[in-house]
Amino acid sequence: MAASPTTAAEAIKFYQDHGLPVTPVRPGDKAGSQKGWSAPDYRATSKDFRLDDNVGVLNGTQPAGSPKLEGWYFHDVDIDANSDAARLIVERLLPPTGWRYGRASKPRSHANYLVWESTARSSSNCGELPRRRRTP
């Protein structure tokens, strides 16, 4: 897998190349800034982004365009460890991934995975945890 992106432009291309829809996220926000950003068919383009926007990908999104990824879903893991030692321990516990990033003070504080969804979701999608397999 290619190295993790380090700029917003690289992140947009990286996620789109992996069949994942991106959305602009304003600095300090967690939600997308465009109307309809959480709809399954939403697709932003690089023109939708301002220079200071962050790049968001909706957790639980299935990558598009690859039949071999049918049943796999994107998830971001935010590693809230407050020391370098704790982050190293968490990194060793999580499966390896080529999708690592973060801000300057915690450059590897997020890990992205494709997760196999093998459980049926309830109508409310609450309380259901997917079973996990190694990523493809």
Would residue 61 count as lying in a domain?
A: yes
d(Cα 61, Cα 39) in Å, to the nearest integer?
10
pLDDT of residue 126: 39
User: pLDDT band for position 132 (50/70/90)?
Assistant: very low
As for how many domains the chain has, the answer is 1
Nearest Cα neighbor of 76 from 100, 47, 42, 46 is 100
Domain that holds residue 40: 8-116
Would residue 134 count as lying in a domain?
A: no
- pLDDT tens figures, 46-80: 899 999 999 988 888 888 887 778 888 888 777 77
Q: Using the CB atoms, write b or e for 106-131: b if 16+ within 10 Å.
A: eeebbbbbbbbbeeeeeeeeeeeeee
Nearest Cα neighbor of 57 from 126, 93, 128, 8 is 8
Would residue 125 count as lying in a domain?
A: no
pTM to 2 decimal places: 0.69
